[in-house]
């Protein structure tokens, strides 16, 4: 029975993987996979990691030296993995490309609705029996234009939801889906015409800080920004400036570019030393959630099933349909 070192394990991870697993020895570790914790995988043939683990070349080297043969990412993203180092070390990398696009798309719309109608502020008020509604004015989403950056499964699911609200949908993607009935425009046109801009693209060298100060300068006054994809797609300092100037009416964020030191843990009794994060959280027109867009029962079940199937294929010597490689 092959052994798997499972890093950054949460209670919901254990529940879903234990339910799906009957063929591997899973060793759960609460700590994230880092250079300092990689030795915990000693004696395991596989490692299961998540989006905020730190899997650089040195970490990869320690894993390989300790006998790990395959790295199973239980997420779609793999920008935190040094793929060149993995390939050089003979470490195979697989991922879960799609677990529930509807989970993430629905969360994106939930963020938009909440930040538009200030639901998070209203909840806080009524909990204190303050029933004043001044300052909670939103706008109708009907008739507004949603600009969707990235038209993979999640982006398309979000587009369908927007259409259900009676919104017009524009899209930008460097690799457009042909004959999909999607109105593609240039990134510049999308920024200039959209009332809502939602990010649904992977993080690459080309997409890092895709929304920067220049991008915000092109946008309409009063635009909403939604990001449920990767934090570094968005220049957080530029977003703060755009919020302060009134260019951005509100932002719904499930990710943050420096989230790895904070997300998925309780920091309520500790000072937050990231000033940008602290300022974003304090803004009344910003709603930040802790990378939970994927977190539905259906998604967790699909993540566990696909991750274990990826490992089944690897150990059986079958073709790896979800393998990722450097430059691929």
3-state SS track over 269-327: CCCCCCHHHHHHHHCCCEEECCCCCCCCHHHHHHHHHHHHHHHHHHHHCCCCCCECCCC
pLDDT of residue 314: 97
Name residue 92's beta-bridge partners: 70
Chain centroid to CA 156: 16
In this prediction the pTM is 0.88
Q: Determine the Cα–Cα distance for residues 253 and 120; give it in Å rounded to an integer.
A: 13
Q: Determine the Cα–Cα distance for residues 227 and 232; give it in Å rounded to an integer.
A: 10
pLDDT tens for the 328 residues of the chain, in order: 899 999 999 999 999 999 999 999 999 999 999 999 999 999 999 999 998 899 999 999 999 999 999 999 999 889 899 999 999 999 999 999 988 899 999 999 999 999 999 999 999 999 999 999 999 999 999 999 999 999 999 999 999 999 999 999 999 999 999 888 999 999 999 999 999 999 999 999 999 999 999 999 999 999 999 999 999 999 999 999 999 999 999 999 999 998 877 787 788 888 888 899 999 999 999 999 999 999 999 999 999 999 999 999 999 999 999 999 987 6
Residue 3 burial class via C-beta count within 10 angstroms: exposed 0-12, middle 13-18, buried 19 and up? middle
Q: Specify whether the CB–CB gap between 237 and 276 falls below 8 A.
A: yes
- Encoding tokens for residue 108? 């994106």
Domain 101-288 has CATH 3.40.50.720: yes
pLDDT of residue 328: 64
pLDDT of residue 276: 92
pLDDT of residue 128: 96
Specify whether 257 is catalytic.
no
Q: Determine the Cα–Cα distance for residues 216 and 246; give it in Å rounded to an integer.
A: 11
> One fold for both 3-99+297-316 and 101-288?
yes
pLDDT of residue 105: 98
Domain edges within the chain: 3-99+297-316, 101-288
Q: Determine the Cα–Cα distance for residues 11 and 289; give it in Å rounded to an integer.
A: 19
pLDDT of residue 150: 97
User: Which of the following is catalytic: 230, 249, 257, 258?
Assistant: 230
326 Cβ contact list (under 8 Å, min separation 6): 83, 84, 86, 87
Q: Determine the Cα–Cα distance for residues 252 and 228; give it in Å rounded to an integer.
A: 8
Specify whether 230 is catalytic.
yes
pLDDT of residue 52: 86
User: Which of the following is catalytic: 291, 297, 298, 325?
Assistant: 291
Specify whether 259 is catalytic.
yes
User: Which of the following is catalytic: 45, 54, 257, 259?
Assistant: 259
Determine the topology of domain 3-99+297-316 in CATH: Rossmann fold (3.40.50)
Instruction: Say whether 130 sits in a helix, a strand or coil.
Output: coil
């Amino acid at each position: 029975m092959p052994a798997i070192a499972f890093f950054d394990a949460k209670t919901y991870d254990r529940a879903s993987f234990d339910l799906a697993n009957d063929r591997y020895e899973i060793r759960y570790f609460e700590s994230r996979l880092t250079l300092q914790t990689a030795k915990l995988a000693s004696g395991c043939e596989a490692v299961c990691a998540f989006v905020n683990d730190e899997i650089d070349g040195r970490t990869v080297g320690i894993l390989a030296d300790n006998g790990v043969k395959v790295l199973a990412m239980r997420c779609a993203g793999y920008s935190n993995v040094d793929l060149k180092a993995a390939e050089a070390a003979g470490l195979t990398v697989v991922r879960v490309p799609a677990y529930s696009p509807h989970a993430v798309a629905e969360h994106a719309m939930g963020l938009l609705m909440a930040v538009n109608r200030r639901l998070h502020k209203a909840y806080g008020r009524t909990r204190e029996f303050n029933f004043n509604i001044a300052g909670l004015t939103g706008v109708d989403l009907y008739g507004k234009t949603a600009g969707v950056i990235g038209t993979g499964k999640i982006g398309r699911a979000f587009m369908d939801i927007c259409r259900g609200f009676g919104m017009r949908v524009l899209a930008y993607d460097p690799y457009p889906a042909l004959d999909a009935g999607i109105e593609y425009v240039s990134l510049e046109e999308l920024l200039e015409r959209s009332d809502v801009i939602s990010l649904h693209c992977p993080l690459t060298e080309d997409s890092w800080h895709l929304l920067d100060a220049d991008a915000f300068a092109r946008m309409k006054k009063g635009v909403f920004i939604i990001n449920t994809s990767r934090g570094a797609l968005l220049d957080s300092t530029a977003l703060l400036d755009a919020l302060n100037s009134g260019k951005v009416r509100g932002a719904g964020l499930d990710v943050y570019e420096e989230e790895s030191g904070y997300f998925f843990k309780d920091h309520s009794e500790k000072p937050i030393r990231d000033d940008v994060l602290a300022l974003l959280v304090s803004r009344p027109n910003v709603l930040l959630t802790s990378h939970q867009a994927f977190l539905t029962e259906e998604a967790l079940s699909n993540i566990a099933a696909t991750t274990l199937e990826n490992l089944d294929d690897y150990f059986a010597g079958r073709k790896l349909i979800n393998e990722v490689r450097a430059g691929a």
